Amino acid sequence: MAIATLVAVALLAHSNVPASSKAAPPRSTSSSSPHAVARVTRAATDTALPGVDKAARARPNRVSPPTPTPPEPAIIKPKGPIPFLVSASVRATIKKCYNRTQNVWLTFDDGYTSQANLDSILATLKKYNVRGRFFPTGSWARTHASMVNQIRAEGHYVENHTGNHAHLNRLDDAAVSNEIATGQAASSSPKLLRPPYGDGAYTSRVYYLAAQQGYRLCTWGTDTMDWAHMPASVIIKKAVTGDARTPPAGPGDTVLMHLRNTQTRYALPKLIDGLLARGLTFDTLR
């Protein structure tokens, strides 16, 4: 034990000697010199290595392989069926779509709608001076550019809802990144990405993959369930008063609706009236 400690101290001391002095003769030949101990230890090692033939040792020094660079911090991937979740406070922020105001945000997803449906929704938003956020899929937006331009021209935001309305938790990292890249480019700041079905929206994996392309994740606070073909009266009730399944919209909340549902346009005026009557405010166009 004492010898090992002495050798370790000796090697440590030796490593601190400047390179220019390493070839210099020892200042002392005393066996108590740490330099002397270090030389003895190395010499013993050179001649006593088992299993190494002399020819190999005689070869000139080869360039040692470069030290591998430490890898970039890995993106956290789900392990097993339950993916890592972002923290509760980040989840709350994602549900509010990074809305830092008290205004309620009305959101309209997907596309796949008729011109009459879109015209009606846009006319109501204009009448009430409410700015909406639209999340068309990239594939629909590319084939319906005039409708997307119409939405944007009226002062609304257009956001990313992936290229093909994919379940992000079912895709590997490269495919998720591709779905984001082929989605409609967001026009807001921060840019928002709403994962279809909310799939993966609270996982750290999708969080980081979205962030790599400058996106913040966005889900919703109140699901009107218009996607389930609810009648207009139910859509209004869910947003304004809530029900057993859905909390009503509150200050700074987001309300989920869909462009394609035929009842949404009929629900929208009373939905806005009901929230205004509760003292809530909206993002405005003017």
Contact between 163 and Zn ion by CB under 5 A: the answer reads no
* C-alpha to C-alpha distance for 259 and 253, rounded to whole angstroms: 19
Find out whether 158 and 187 touch, Cβ atoms under 8 Å. yes
* C-alpha to C-alpha distance for 120 and 263, rounded to whole angstroms: 11
Site for Zn ion (CB under 5 A): which residue of 111, 163, 196, 248? 196
Could you give the C-alpha distances from 274 to 107, 111, 131, 279, in angstroms and in order? 17, 25, 17, 9
Among the residue ranges 37-45, 71-79, 106-114, 124-132, the one whose residues contact Zn ion (CB under 5 A): 106-114
Min separation Cβ 109 and Zn ion, Å: 4
Shorter beta-carbon distance to Zn ion: residue 183 or 196: 196
The counts of H helices and E strands in the chain are: 12, 7
Min separation Cβ 276 and Zn ion, Å: 27
Min separation Cβ 259 and Zn ion, Å: 10
Among the residue ranges 18-26, 41-49, 79-87, 196-204, the one whose residues contact Zn ion (CB under 5 A): 196-204
* Sign of the alpha-carbon torsion through 50, 52, 55, 58: negative
Contact between 109 and Zn ion by CB under 5 A: the answer reads yes
Contact between 110 and Zn ion by CB under 5 A: the answer reads yes
Shorter beta-carbon distance to Zn ion: residue 239 or 257: 257
Give strand pairing partners of 65.
none
Find out whether 99 and 254 touch, Cβ atoms under 8 Å. yes
The residue nearest Zn ion at its CB is 109
Shorter beta-carbon distance to Zn ion: residue 138 or 274: 138
Min separation Cβ 135 and Zn ion, Å: 7
Min separation Cβ 78 and Zn ion, Å: 22
Find out whether 161 and 137 touch, Cβ atoms under 8 Å. yes
Find out whether 259 and 244 touch, Cβ atoms under 8 Å. no
Shorter beta-carbon distance to Zn ion: residue 216 or 258: 258
Contact between 179 and Zn ion by CB under 5 A: the answer reads no
Pairing of strands 191-193, 157-158: unpaired
Give strand pairing partners of 257.
108
Contact between 223 and Zn ion by CB under 5 A: the answer reads no
Among the residue ranges 6-14, 37-45, 103-111, 208-216, the one whose residues contact Zn ion (CB under 5 A): 103-111
Min separation Cβ 172 and Zn ion, Å: 21
| Residues of the shown chain interacting with Zn ion in the complex, contacts defined by CB under 5 A | 109-110, 196
